[in-house]
Structure 1
């Protein structure tokens, strides 16, 4: 769904509410090849014009199928998040009126594309660590002959704090010592 800023600006201070199902599967898989499958996104919220610009506030519910970051098995990851963003014209020069925490999107051609906004925010919400339910509960990590995968919680603190110096660089450690 697309709206022009002019069209949305005519609604004034009355919130324009919407409740849509957005099909983003084809275009989002083209943008992120790790996504195996994605359900249609349910998007509901409102737009309102205020003194800063067009404020969009909406909630997105979608289910994304991703590979496990440990075993590459398929994992269905439900994403349920809220978005609050300001949309302004590409002619807007002064963005200092916005707070540092405001998300401001400058629109090319002054056209707001709901599908694009939903896609962008879904991609931002994809977790970096994806595990199957078995991998979440299983403490044993993969291991083989002369190797094993260690979780951060299993690494010995003394190994982390060990001050090891490459023998080739050992003479350099005294280079910056102060003379008293």
Structure 2
């Protein structure tokens, strides 16, 4: 309902979610945004957002937790557009999720094409030139980088609410 009100009373072109094994998946397509949010449950939680049309995405892996944890989607992904540090538009999603872990500690973020996200998941490596440093500003954890060719790139912002 909140999304429909923000968009002038219309729902996104496509929006749905499903849980498959340890993965909570949510999909949204509207205007310039088509995204797949994946929240991985278990002892090694992670957040992935893939943008299939651009074969790119962002991922944040967390340190292992003491007991298997479960994500819950509190607010479905909704399309957003904002400017990067150089004023260029970036199209993405925002969402609210909770996890039943006492503490989460970021392990590694990867902001790149989907192949490098998959490589990191399977072999814990990615090319150094696509690394994005972590910044902490208050209750926000931020990662951002341009594409290797200098074009507008990637941004991942996590705001800790509790």
State the structure with bigger RCO (CA 8 A, min sep 6), 1 or 2. 1
TM-score (norm 1): 0.26
TM-score by length of 2: 0.29
* Structure with bigger gyration radius: 1
Q: Which protein has the bigger strand share?
A: 2
